[in-house]
Amino acid sequence: MGNSLLYKIVASHLVSGQMAPGEEIGIRIDQTLTQDATGTMVWLEFESMGIPRVRTELSVSYVDHNMLQNDFRNADDHRYLQTVTSKYGAYFSRPGSGICHQVHLERFGVPGKTLLGSDSHTPNAGGLGMLAIGAGGMDVAVAMGGGPFYLTMPQIVGVQLLGQLGPWVTAKDVILELLRRLSVKGGLGKVIEYYGPGVEGLTVDQRATICNMGAELGATTSIFPSDACTRAYLQAQGREEVWIPLTADPDATYDENIALDLSAVEPLIAQPSSPDNVVPVREVEGTPVAQVCVGSCVNSSFEDLSIVAAILQGKSVHPNVSMTVTPGSKQVYTMIARSGALTSLIDAGARILEAGCGPCVGMGQAPPTGAVSVRSSNRNFRGRSGTRDDQVFLASPETCAAAALFGVITDPRQLGDAVKIEPPVQYAVNDNMILAPSDEPENVEIIRGPNIKPIPEFAPLGDTVQGRVLIKVEDNITTDHIMPAGAQVLPLRSNIPAISEYVFWRVDPDFVHRAKDWSGGLIVGGLNYGQGSSREHAALSPRFLNVQAVLAKSFARIHHANLVNMGILPLTFMTDDDYDAIAEGDELEISDLRSALEQERPLHVRNVTQNCAFQASYDLTGRQIRILLAGGLLNTISDEGEQV
């Protein structure tokens, strides 16, 4: 019986544990990726460990999220990142170099290597055959210090791709089809591995698109084989020497199998306000559109933007539509300029944005009140765009271009003959915006602006947790709900006291006031609590407000780990009736906590207000229990960077 590709890479990097689904394993990390929204805190955490130099093969710090410099704060953080990386041995990708996932694919990704990133869309690099996983900042900081990354050994879902994509059908439609089938919870505890004859017809950029949005399935990661197509891509990037062939064994077995005939996929679109609310484009044709945004960390490649430019060439964006285009990197920007695609986009009336995350993370281009925005990005959670009552649809760049031309949602098959862009034989390589670390770190001064504050210190977990329910929320609450992004909030990412004023800001503006007035408390959530972004601020800021525990029906993987790392107890309801019986404001009490966790017994939760009780379970390893008892991961790390 053969092995899957994922199994092979994990086995070659295994540090501890047994490779059986559900067991905790530790793996060696070759590369790390951070960005300025989450990575600023990563570097503050790394500094606090007292380690003189990063110990990975490669670590890169990108600036791509907080590009708006309305005041000193973002600029100061960028300068901090440039100096701290220079001193500690990481590369620094300057503002304007591009979006982390696109640039990493182009310039740093290596088949068969492991990549841990403080961004949930890190699996984008799975398009090159990397084992690329998104994680919370503390886990990435530990990996930069040479520590293993711990995760539950996932189930491996084999997706056999058959056939070829039809005209106007794209890789975006493939991942939307999987989201339609599986939902945003369908990938929890799983890795999606693609194989089969249909793989050969997909370019590396198309594969990366599919892997990128595997995060929306809740999957740990997604991966494609490294084959002749991968080799051609790396050769075109001037990096053929890092290529190795990697594939599953012919007789590999999977925990779950899905067959997907690419020729049967049609243009799809995700309706507001969830990536799995997917229908065929033809079913919503004619819906008036006010805004179209092409490009983010997904669908911003030279291939994608060239297709959009070809569709728009000689035409004009509809007068009722505001259209923006975001190149994924400086390389992409340069190449569309040289090819003439940029001129076609500008002539048609598209607004060209800088190479950054921009509209996807709510940094500008918020749509009009209640209006429809069609985007090629990966998330459409309510309010993420910056407009509270937004109506964001997710679709392929081709569908976006059709909507921009006609002013209504339009099936791209209405455009006539399909546009085909072949991958370049040679990419425009110029790494002048990526800075190597200093050879004289002792001479580098780390520059900190006044908004950069020390990491708060947290006490060990007590033997009793007692407090009121600060908020009760429904299923699929995202980290955007818990800790919003956007131009108003993201500049505060290095200042925990300040950013904590925005916890649940868009869900319940009174949450922070209650948390302060009640001296902290507990949060009650539904299924898949904490899905979406990897931002650890969604755990760190509640911890700062003295949130002691979260009771939920289930948790998203990264957020569960972040809660543990910050010393917040993640508990799971054993029945839906227990969830239904709790109300906001109820006082809960959990006694004999430390001994129960040490003995791995269920916890007894007493509802003091309603004079009743129930049991709560937890999915914690012995290592995680030690972290919780210590008050968080940082408290368990010695001066040498070793975990106690």
Active site residues: 64-65, 119, 379, 533, 535
Q: What 3-state class would DSSP assign to 566?
A: coil
Cβ atoms within 10 Å, residue 290? 18
Contact 413/267 with Cβ under 8 angstroms? Answer: yes
Q: How many helices (H) and strands (E) does the chain have?
A: 20, 27
CA distances from 40 to 94, 118, 192, 490, 496 (A): 14, 10, 30, 11, 12
Cα angle value 349/353/356 (rounded, 5°): 155
Q: In angstroms, rounded to a whole number, what is the distance separating the alpha carbons of residues 455 and 442?
A: 24
CA distances from 137 to 132, 144, 242 (A): 15, 10, 28
Contact 236/425 with Cβ under 8 angstroms? Answer: yes
Contact 541/489 with Cβ under 8 angstroms? Answer: no
**DSSP summary character for residue 569:** E
Q: In angstroms, rounded to a whole number, what is the distance separating the alpha carbons of residues 600 and 577?
A: 23
- Residue 413: both structure tokens together: 């098959």
**DSSP secondary structure string, 357-394?**
-GGGGTSS-PPPTT-EEEESSS--BTTTTS-TT-EEEE
Place of tokens 């339609």: 180
- Residue 411: both structure tokens together: 């099936």
Q: What 3-state class would DSSP assign to 634?
A: helix
Q: In angstroms, rounded to a whole number, what is the distance separating the alpha carbons of residues 484 and 50?
A: 31
Taken in order 537, 541, 546, 551, is the CA torsion positive or negative?
negative
Contact 326/426 with Cβ under 8 angstroms? Answer: no
Place of tokens 């862009």: 421
Q: In angstroms, rounded to a whole number, what is the distance separating the alpha carbons of residues 439 and 90?
A: 11
- Report the Cα 636 to chain-centroid distance in Å: 26
Q: In angstroms, rounded to a whole number, what is the distance separating the alpha carbons of residues 644 and 397?
A: 49
Q: What is the 3-state secondary structure (H, E, C) of 319-336?
A: CCCEEEECCCEHHHHHHH
Q: Compute the radius of gyration of the chain from its Cα atoms.
A: 24
- Residue 214: both structure tokens together: 């595997």
- Report the Cα 582 to chain-centroid distance in Å: 31
The candidate with the shortest Cα–Cα distance to 493, out of 34, 62, 141, 36, is 36
